[in-house]
Chains A and B, each alone.
Chain A
Amino acid sequence: DTGVSQDPRHKITKRGQNVTFRCDPISEHNRLYWYRQTLGQGPEFLTYFQNEAQLEKSRLLSDRFSAERPKGSFSTLEIQRTEQGDSAMYLCASSLAAGEAFFGQGTRLTVV
């Protein structure tokens, strides 16, 4: 296992389309996080899973956003009816416990 893997690395979509991103955490990590990073800013927390349970969602996560982690392994983040303001880097991270999180390389979304 070489770390947290995210797919795709880049996604360009037209406004109004749905997109789905995948995150494969480090295999033994039970915690998984999604963050969003816009240009010139630090990552902002979106949501958190402990195993398959989604325990916290940020107010940033509008109704158009949904995340799942079936079976407590990989996770998906779906954005419905994308808007230009959704353009950002979406980062996934995983950890064993509170403390050091390992981040993936992110998925850069561009909504045109």
Chain B
Amino acid sequence: AQKVTQAQTEISVVEKEDVTLDCVYETRDTTYYLFWYKQPPSGELVFLIRRNSFDEQNEISGRYSWNFQKSTSSFNFTITASQVVDSAVYFCALSFTGGFKTIFGAGTRLFVKA
């Protein structure tokens, strides 16, 4: 089965708190890609990161960081010092080599209060 699970439906934090969004995936393929997207209230999906299955290095981009662990099939996303503008729905997704179909999780809605 190919599946993405985001167990956290909603998270609410106060501005400047750190927050981690969990993502667990299932696939039997050895080569795959993992993504995070942000969906603000305007509706479009904004690409945040793509990681292939052979690259387990953690990545940091400004206040965003990602922790990819193949041993636990997880690809977690941390926002450091959250801001109100981070409020959105965040989706974790899974795709495959030569693939055209991206499988999305159900999303985690993040509320950041001032």
Using a CB–CB distance below 8 Å, which chain A residues touch chain B? 31, 33, 40-45, 48, 50, 55-56, 58, 89, 91, 93, 98-106, 108
Contacts and interface: CB of A to CB of B under 8 A. Distances in A.
14 contacts: A40-B106, A41-B107, A42-B104, A42-B106, A42-B107, A45-B101, A48-B100, A50-B100, A58-B101, A98-B98, A98-B99, A98-B100, A100-B47, A103-B37
B33 A105 contact: no
Given A43-B91, A45-B101, A103-B37, 16 more contacts: A41-B107, A42-B4, A42-B105, A42-B106, A42-B107, A45-B102, A50-B100, A98-B96, A98-B97, A99-B50, A101-B102, A103-B44, A103-B45, A104-B44, A106-B44, A108-B43
B101 A48 contact: yes
B87 interface: no
Contacts of A40: 106-107
Contacts of B37: 103
Interface residues of B, number: 26
A75 to B, nearest CB: 14
A46 B93 CA distance: 15
B50 A43 contact: no
B100 A31 contact: yes
Interface of B: 4, 33, 35, 37, 42-47, 50, 91, 93, 95-107
A10 B17 CA distance: 36
Contact of B44 (A42, A99, A100, A105): A105
Nearest to A104: B44
